[in-house]
A and B are shown apart, each in its own frame.
Chain A
Amino acid sequence: MKKITSLMLALMLAMSLASCGEKANDVETQGETENQVETEVETETETEAETETEAEAETETEEADVMTYEEYAAAEIDSPVVIDAYVQGKQSWWDNKATVYAQDEDGAYFIYEMACSEEDYEKLTVGTAIKVTGHKAEWSGEVEIVDATFEIIEGNYVAEPVDVTSLLASKELINHQNKLASFKGMTVDAINYKNEEPGDDIYLTLSKDGESYDFCVEIYLTGEDSEVYKTVGELAVGDIVDVEGFLYWYEGVNPHITSVVKLEA
């Protein structure tokens, strides 16, 4: 009996070792391996991001003062910037990089692909106060903060959308770039899916007082299942709508819509 027991144990041990040592050469295991590698990289980057964030924060206290919005607006493109602001919208997280809209009482910021772990990204709810350290950049007219790190700080502020309908045709509009804004009584001129069908951005042309403006439902910002995505998809040319969104820029004003309300004809 003992011999049989020992034999079975030895057999199982050998098989178990062989199984553990098997290379990741079947699809399931490979998938797992890929994910695992990613997780490891993420963890490393997370740690780096956290360390950087902490280190940056310490350095900032010693070297760089937090800028007011006025100082930020006056800073040259490519210069280092440090700002305190409140998250107003999250556009995306991927590969330990987060893209968010932030705002304070004086102005707004688009923070593009700042170092951010997935765990920290979850903490960035609307109103969360953050200190951001990065560089000011401009891409097709959109002023943004790039190569940034951040830390969550004390405070909370949720911005009310600013009504910029009357400023649409004016040069003053750019002073509100990246703010949460509202547009009242706009007429739908055209609706086009980027790919001709749902599943990607929706390009919306809205007009006011005879002038047309390009709006966009950015799928990463809203998601395909969101109310705004569905509602915009159901609009028809000639509909009158109130919309809200972030005052993004791409070769001119190109608001990224976050909500839309169809008005009675």
Chain B
Amino acid sequence: MKTAIEKTLCLCLAALFCVFAVSCHGKRESSEFVIPREFDEAQEYSITFWAKNDTNKTQVEIYHKAIAEFEELYPNIKVNLRLYTDYGKIYNDVITNISTDTTPNVCITYPDHIATYRTGKDVVVPLNDLMNDKEYGLGGKRVKFDSPTMSEIVPQFLEECSFSGAYYALPFMRSTEACYINKTYVEKLGYTLPEQLTWDFVWEVSQKAAQKDSDGIYAVNGQKVMIPMIYKSTDNMMIQMLKQQGAGYSDEYGNVLIFNETTEEILKTVAENTAAGAFSTFKISSYPANFLNAGQCVFAIDSTAGATWMGTDAPLCDISEEKIIKFETAVMPIPQFDPQNPCMISQGPSVCIFNKKDPGEVMASWLFTQYLLTNSVQLSYSSTEGYVPVTIKAQSSDEYKDYLSRAGEDNEYYYDIKIRASKLLLDNVEHTFVTPVFNGSASLRDAAGQMIENVTKSVRRKENVDEDYYKALYDDVKALHRLDSAGLSGGKVKLGKLPEASRALIICLVAVWVLIIAYRIYDAVKKLRK
């Protein structure tokens, strides 16, 4: 009897050991990408490219053209394009696809988002070795097109793709924010635009523009609608206002510094101007361009990549022709607290590569990513909006210089406001900045914008916005965006439920121990009876 039980126990344990060994192996191996010695051009590769466009058909055409040209150079690589018009949707889809190992090969994204993708091991390919590879790297000998060298990429833009000790993306296009101004109204209100916009000036003019008569007609435009200042991206608004005042937002270690006195001062200014009818946001009212072009806004702050929607003669427009009014448009850097030391955000799409089991597939992705930096793609794509090319090679080309010099020749390709928006960034590259990238930086960015949105809504709803309100707002935003811990990236990590295999093992182990104890009791009782 005893031997039989012992044998059974041993068998159970052996079986459990096998199960354990299998479960430890995991469903899928992830391994670090290593550059193959040679890119096999006899091997067929099919890669997916998730790209973002600004609801701009020309951009879509450029993607298709770039793919066709690349496939002609590398007939063994097929690039499948999937188009998005929203960075947030790309981010959500990538997160979903990481867990099913169906990420795209190449993806247009933001560094903040890459930081989240990177929380999985070897999900995103670090590009340092690829960039420096003499054969297939930037400007490499065996690359079949005129790829830029590393030193031919604008250093500041390239650095924006470096975090956690490596480059995890290449910049694709760069933009900043601009203030699109109805200069006609500013002058009608008795003001002259200064050389550099200040927040004091913008708020003062906006409050004057908000004056209306007893019938609700605004003096400046003779209409019943006027929102003097509309900000498209309130997260950028908060981030830039903090930076301009040298106040805390976050640091590279993931410490959240945003809940400070300067933030409260900014929110109070937002509240005051909202109460005066001088300010609103895209989320609350609509696109700044729609109001600007209808003569219902004086200062519209939006990306330089939205320039083709701005102004009386804008090539892209969502409002009906009869609503558009004639006015002179000024394009200026965003308002500043210290005009002598201007500060503005650098933004725009970057491109990352997702790791795959087959290093050849990653190489195919890398070659295509490099192709996006060729002059052909850079010049054509940047001219669709107020973007600037990310390579010095493209920026210094005769073709680009010619393009910039012909602003205003027509209202399409040479649309004046679009080219002025690009020049704005080119003239201010040294004044741009980016926020630290870490796992959670995307949430912090959302929180920054939400505070402005909430205050604006509350004031419009005539709620009591006082000290207690701000305290409660901070608490709510911290909780909603999980910013409670001092450092997001170093905070407590929720590991989630135990894997099924681990749970099964624990149950089996408990069962085996129960059996052993039962056997010991049985043995003891047997001995006692003897």
Contact = CB atoms under 8 A, between A and B. Distances in A.
Given A12-B13, A139-B285, A23 B495 contact: yes
Given A30-B121, A31-B98, A15 B495 contact: no
Interface stretch (A34-42, A117-125, A223-231, A239-247): A34-42
B456 to A, nearest CB: 10
Nearest to A38: B95
A8 B9 CA distance: 11
Contacts of A15: 20, 24
Contacts of A8: 10, 13, 17
Interface residues of B, number: 60
B17 A12 contact: yes
A137 B121 contact: no
A9 B98 CA distance: 36
Contacts of A70: none
A61 interface: no
A218 to B, nearest CB: 13
Given A16-B20, A200-B83, A27 B98 contact: yes
Contact of B497 (A36, A140, A197): A36
Interface in B196-233: none
Nearest to A195: B83
A140 B13 contact: no
Interface stretch (B41-49, B365-373, B499-507): B499-507
Contact of A9 (B30, B85, B506, B513): B513
Interface in A105-137: 135, 137
Interface string B266-300: 00000000000000000011110010000000000
Contact of B120 (A19, A30, A40, A197): A30
B123 A5 contact: no
Contacts, number: 141
A34 B98 contact: yes
Contacts of B20: 12, 15-16, 19
A30 B495 CA distance: 9
Contacts of A137: 284
A170 interface: no
Nearest to A80: B461
Given A30-B98, A40-B494, A195 B85 contact: yes
Interface in B473-505: 482, 493-499, 502, 505
B509 to A, nearest CB: 6
B6 A5 contact: yes
Interface in B12-63: 13, 16-17, 20, 23-24, 26-28, 30, 53, 55, 57, 60-61
B405 interface: no
A163 interface: no
A28 interface: yes
B459 to A, nearest CB: 9
B122 A27 contact: yes
B95 A34 contact: yes
B53 A250 contact: no
Given A27-B30, A31-B98, A252 B461 contact: no
A13 interface: yes
A251 B290 contact: yes
B461 A135 contact: yes
Nearest to B283: A139
A2 B7 CA distance: 11
A140 B286 contact: yes
B59 to A, nearest CB: 10
A247 to B, nearest CB: 18
A42 B516 CA distance: 43
A33 B512 CA distance: 30
A33 B496 contact: yes
A36 B85 contact: no
User: Which of A2, A5, A30 has the most CB atoms of chain B within a 10 A radius of its CB?
Assistant: A30
A40 B498 CA distance: 14
Given A12-B13, A37-B494, A20 B461 contact: no
B183 interface: no
B192 interface: no
B320 A27 contact: no
A147 interface: yes
A93 B211 CA distance: 40
A75 interface: no
A25 B495 CA distance: 10
Interface string A195-224: 111011000000000000000000000000
A199 B82 contact: yes
A73 B24 CA distance: 62
A26 interface: yes
A153 interface: no
A78 interface: yes
A36 B98 contact: no
B457 interface: yes
Contact of A12 (B16, B323, B493): B16
B101 interface: yes
B495 A200 contact: no
Nearest to B95: A34
B464 interface: no
Interface of A: 1-2, 4-5, 8-9, 12-13, 15-16, 19-20, 23-37, 40-41, 78-80, 135, 137, 139-140, 147, 194-197, 199-200, 250-252
**4 nearest CB pairs, A to B:** A31-B99, A36-B496, A30-B120, A140-B286
Given A27-B28, A27-B101, A29-B499, 15 more contacts: A12-B13, A12-B16, A19-B23, A24-B495, A24-B496, A25-B120, A25-B121, A30-B119, A33-B494, A37-B496, A40-B494, A78-B461, A195-B84, A196-B83, A197-B83
21 contacts: A1-B6, A8-B10, A12-B509, A19-B24, A24-B495, A25-B121, A26-B120, A27-B120, A30-B99, A31-B100, A31-B120, A34-B95, A34-B98, A36-B494, A37-B496, A41-B482, A78-B461, A139-B284, A140-B287, A196-B60, A251-B290
